[in-house]
Amino acid sequence: MDEITALQKNMPTQAILVARIEEGMTEENREKSLDELEQLLETAGGVCFARLSQTRPHPDVRTYLGSGKAEELSQLIKGNKITLIVVDDELSPSQIKNLEDAMETEVRVIDRTMLILDIFARNAVTSEGILQVEIAQLKYSMPRLLGKGTALSRLGGGIGTRGPGESKLETDRRHIKRRIAYLEEALREMDETRSIQRSARRSSGIPQIAIAGYTNVGKSTLLNHLTHANILSEDKLFATLDPTTRRLKLPTAGEVVLTDTVGFIQHLPHHLVEAFKSTLDEVVLADLILIILDASDPEVDHQLSVTEQILSALYAKRKAEPRPMLYVFNKCDRVEKKMLPLLTPRADTVYISAVTGEGIDTLIARIEKAVSECKKEVVFKFPNAFGGGYLNRLYKTSTVVSCDYASDGMLIRVIADEKIRSMYKEFLVEKGGN
């Protein structure tokens, strides 16, 4: 049975993890990266039989590993009936094929991206999630069609329709392109609905808060704790793919909307980032982002830098201004109190446990503060008789964007904080996003 299929059917597939140690990479770093790959493999339902690594400044262009190492791998596989090799890197289509061919027994080679895509495919639940994952998978596998034909088996239909003189691969590629175009159109319609919903939420004036961070840090657990959202939270990577939005009533600052969404990981495949664009917009277009970190993970610094890198790439792509952020160190119940201040210092930091509830009151207080400081573009309409006075005050406290005079009043578009917005709320004609 094809290993990907075996993984999807929940059968434990024994795999060997393969890594290349680049110049300057310590053994410790390599082990950490392999630990994460092993976690990904287990999330996909596989088990690690052994790890194999090779120190090489560059990967072998043909087989990724050098010939001696490939032979060692082949013997290990043959002797232990292994059927899957997972390489901790992104491989070219020919490297995958050549490495498979270099093995004495039948084995399937996949790279890190393929493994992540497979997990996403297993965890996608909603039609939007399923579409997004299929687009990413097809885009990744299209240039990787090198004659084995296995990548197409899940698509069904379309094969055997080649015209005279065309190679089967060309037909397969065209079939995939058509399928991608069809899926992208379907996704575009869903994106439109999501974007309409988002604008409706924004124009309601209710602050939008995104819960973001590395995978498995406790984002869903936190949303569940705050709002009883009932989202699946599991000790697995990428348990959540689809955004869940819930309202939360703050003690004094009114209501906010919280959204929990897909987690990040180092080297997040770019086809996934593309396909999940509208889902990720929930994060970069929020009024405030809670960056959740796992305080008990020795790799917390790394988690933070990966998260910040992904966010800045998303801002750049969207041409969006960076949002205000609150750094939330979660799972503090697993960390000795005196160790907490040693965690990566950031200006706006809160320590919590989404399981025991410690620190949640402080988190809520910080959210209230951030929300009240958060500025939005709104429009006030003041009666002409008093407009000048209001305008003067607004110039002192906020950023006035435009000012229009009409017969029945003065329309002032302004970027103002919550204090000003509520002070003049009777004159608000457009609550705006930001």
Ligand X SMILES: Nc1nc2c(ncn2[C@@H]2O[C@H](COP(=O)(O)OP(=O)(O)OP(=O)(O)O)[C@@H](O)[C@H]2O)c(=O)[nH]1
Instruction: List contacts with ligand X (CB under 6 A).
Output: 215-221, 233-240, 263, 330-331, 333-334, 353-355
Q: Least distance from C-beta 266 to ligand X, angstroms?
A: 14
Confirm or reject binding of residue 245 to Mg ion (CB under 5 A): no
Closest CB to Mg ion among residues 73, 239 = 239
Q: DSSP assignment of 230-293, as one string?
A: -----SSTT---S-EEEEEEETTTEEEEEEE-PPB-TT--HHHHHHTHHHHHHHHTSSEEEEEE
Closest CB to Mg ion among residues 279, 398 = 279
Closest CB to ligand X among residues 139, 225 = 225
Helix (H) or strand (E) holding 351: strand 349-351
Closest CB to ligand X among residues 74, 296 = 296
- By a kind-dependent CB cut-off of 5 to 8 A, residue 355 interacts, out of ligand X, Mg ion, none, with ligand X
Q: Least distance from C-beta 268 to ligand X, angstroms?
A: 12
Angstrom distance (rounded) from CA 419 to CA 19: 55
Closest CB to ligand X among residues 82, 332 = 332
- By a kind-dependent CB cut-off of 5 to 8 A, residue 235 interacts, out of ligand X, Mg ion, none, with ligand X
Angstrom distance (rounded) from CA 56 to CA 434: 50
Q: Least distance from C-beta 240 to Mg ion, angstroms?
A: 3
How far apart are the two ends of the chain, measured CA to CA in Å?
Answer: 53
The closest of 209, 269, 210, 208 to 238, measured between CA atoms, is 269
Span of 143-151, 235-243, 292-300, 380-388 interacting with Mg ion by CB under 5 A: 235-243
- Answer for the pair 299, 217: CB distance below 8 angstroms, yes or no: no
In the numeric block, which tokens belong to residue 317?
């792509």
Per-residue mark of binding to Mg ion, 94-123 (x: CB under 5 A): ------------------------------
Amino acid at 27: E
Closest CB to Mg ion among residues 76, 248 = 248
The closest of 276, 241, 263 to 124, measured between CA atoms, is 241
Q: Which residue is nearest to Mg ion (CB)?
A: 240
- By a kind-dependent CB cut-off of 5 to 8 A, residue 13 interacts, out of ligand X, Mg ion, none, with none
Single residue of 123, 240, 261, 303 touching Mg ion by CB under 5 A? 240
Cite the DSSP H helix spans in 297-400: 300-318, 360-373, 384-397
Angstrom distance (rounded) from CA 42 to CA 36: 10
Q: Least distance from C-beta 10 to ligand X, angstroms?
A: 18
Closest CB to ligand X among residues 6, 335 = 335
